[in-house]
Amino acid sequence: MNTEFHYLEALFSQLNLPNSKADIEAFIKNHSPLAGDILLEEAEFWNASQAEFIREAKQADSDWVEVVDQLDAALRHTYL
């Protein structure tokens, strides 16, 4: 099993999204808060391949799951 730790920048790159710190912050700000009853991979802002990557990372408990969970938590946090 690969135990490599990934960062948000790498996840955004894997999802084919802009991955600078400012881009990630803007993405989170623009898509927060994600409702508690919506699974991350079912959010309306993903395309099919992005949603599938997230779904597979979670189901396989892959080395991406920690950073996927980090993104999930960030999207559910309400910034005041």
Q: Which domains does the chain have, with CATH numbers?
A: 8-76 (1.10.10.1130)
In the prediction, which pLDDT does 1 show?
A: 41
The rounded distance, in Å, linking the Cα atoms of 52 and 49 is 5
**Mean pLDDT, rounded, for 17-45:** 95
Q: Residue 48: CA atoms inside 13 Å, Cβ hemisphere, count?
A: 0
Check pLDDT > 50 for residue 33. Answer: yes
Contact in structure between 70 and 8 (CB atoms under 8 Å):
yes
Measure the CA–CA gap between 21 and 35, rounded to whole angstroms. Answer: 24
Residue with tokens 């597979």: 56
* pLDDT for res 12: 97
The pair of structure tokens assigned to 28 is 């989170």
- 41-73 pLDDT tens trace: 999 999 999 999 999 999 998 889 999 999 999
When pLDDT is cut at 50, 70 and 90, the band that residue 11 belongs to is very high
pTM of the model: 0.87
